[in-house]
Structure 1
């Protein structure tokens, strides 16, 4: 498998960066994960918008455009003979002296990792379990999709490698937050609920897209502070991320849900699949 590293397509075994990179020394770096569907990088504009906002926060002096990144992606999937792919786009601060730096980083490292994926298909279900470890507070004003991932790693170790289980965090104040690698949603009647960003969650790109789909389907969207007991009263529950898309939950702490048989889960999944081969941004999905 070839990866992209700072202008070159190289074998992953040959890739290296300096140990003086502040992404390694101090965790100053960001990443985005998304899917390519039949050659199209789904919601790329939204991912780059979040990435560029994070680069501002970290004083990394580069801004990525759709044309720049898509050109690289098309070459990358071509040389790897991929049509449907997992993409991880990683930006680290670049080389600096040992010590905390306050000046902007002028030469970041860009690495793009591809992995093959099968074409998008049917809904896959998971069970949800409540984690003992709490969601940590963001390091700054908002949670960045950054190299600071220890909280998630410890949570994953808590539940193990079972692929059909997702761990759900409470935040430090006891409110529902998010999954280890996902955002959390539930539906009661015609209301779509999801924890608010100020609970400390990552404002996922798929989260934002599903909220847009909720509006399109005339669901009332409510973002707020919720207890687990409130969520367990739901008619349907699901989690989202950019690789797994919409994942219905069948059971959460002993309470059962319809999973992929849920009416709204099926509708949102159907809508999702209609867009994934061509949509650049959620902003192109109007409220009807």
Structure 2
């Protein structure tokens, strides 16, 4: 069955959705995006995604074509129209269409596109019970990773490197320190302490990251926001990642080496449980 998608103010069948070949998102990756999870037909962490979207747009001096309330209504309508119980809503805003020029156009109207992806079993993923395997790769991305742009070629390459190595994902390393996964924030657990990279231009300011750290502190867990090395990761008791679609996902192997007991740990298990429970209470 064809999905209903949203393109520049219109709800259309996916086969009728069209964007200009002159769109700067296509020509320059001049755009930003957000992905919001849907559980039980409701949006998870919508407010956080809306706030980060506006920050990304502001950092790129790009106009927002919709208000927060309008954006919420579009999300809800797509969830309803496509009968999404568990899945994702993808949102992309670009600077719009203009003749090709490196300088930002002065009169282009932003392009906005949203679509859904059904993901049955999203909350009960087998990977949460088995754990992920990751490899380490050099971080070769641009310097403003805090802006959630559509420049995702190197993370895609990293995913393929992991796949070729028989792993699920890659953790990127810069100047000896882990930055993040290809599409998630990275964590280790040593003793009773959760360690994850501090915020800065080097990593995406994850919405799930913020929520999980808040819940961890409320549960009296110790949190350190600092850079950690791959050597520390290999000696950790546990490791995990967070993202809007993975929630909290344990990592059981890095570069072929088991982490801790080589099985999902209790901290990751508990944080996933808390995150899903608390997020569903606030879902819209």
Structure 1 and Structure 2 fold alike (TM over 0.5): yes
How far residue 44 of structure 1 moved from its aligned partner, in angstroms, is 0.7
TM-score, normalised by the number of residues in structure 1: 0.88
With over 3 angstroms needed to count, the CA separation of the structure-2 counterparts of 1:63 and 1:19, relative to structure 1, is closer
Q: Structure 1 residues 75-84 or 59-68, which shifts more?
A: 59-68
Length, aligned pairs only: 277
Distance across 1 between alignment mates of 2:239 and 2:133: 10
The aligned counterpart of 2:133 is 127
2:141 counterpart (113, 117, 136): 136
Please tell me whether the aligned partners of residues 55 and 62 of structure 1 are also in contact (alpha carbons under 8 angstroms).
yes
Three-state SS of the structure 2 residue aligned to 1:197 is coil
Counterparts of 1:81-96 in structure 2, within 5 Å, are 81-96=83-98
1:207-254: CA deviation from partner (whole Å, max 9, x where unpaired): 111111221111222122221111222211111111011111111231
- Deviations along 1:101-137, one digit per CA (max 9) or x if unpaired, are 3455652111111011224225242112112x32424
1:35-93 deviations in Å (ceiling 9; x for gaps): 11122211111111111011111221226544212211221122112222211111111
Q: Give yes or no for the alignment of 1:69 onto 2:75.
A: no
SS of equivalent to 1:277 = helix
The answer to whether the 8 Å contact 2:31/2:93 transfers is yes
Could you tell me which runs of 5 or more consecutive residues in structure 2 were left unpaired when the two chains were aligned.
none
Alignment of 1:267 onto 2:270: yes
User: After superposition, where does 1:215-226 map in structure 2 within 5 Å?
Assistant: 215-226=217-228
Q: What TM-score, normalized by structure 2, do the two folds share?
A: 0.89
For residue 170 of structure 2, what is the aligned residue in structure 1?
167
Return the alpha-carbon distance in structure 1 between the equivalents of residues 84 and 187 of structure 2: 32
- What residue number does 2:159 align with? 156
CA contact (8 A) 2:158 2:169 kept: no
Following superposition of structure 1 onto structure 2, how do residues 1-288 of structure 1 map, counting pairs within 5 Å?
Answer: 1-62=3-64, 64-102=66-104, 107-119=109-121, 120-121=123-124, 123-124=128-129, 125-131=131-137, 133-139=138-144, 143-160=146-163, 165-171=168-174, 173-198=175-200, 200-253=202-255, 254-258=257-261, 261-279=264-282
Q: Deviations over 1:21-40 (max 9, x none)?
A: 11112111001112111222
**Structure 2 Cα separation of the partners of residues 56 and 231 of structure 1:** 35
Conserved 8 A contact 1:93-1:108:
yes
Change in 2 beyond 3 A, CA 1:240/1:163: farther
Distance 2:197 2:149 in 1: 20
How far residue 148 of structure 1 moved from its aligned partner, in angstroms, is 1.2
Shift in Å at residue 15 of structure 1?
A: 1.1
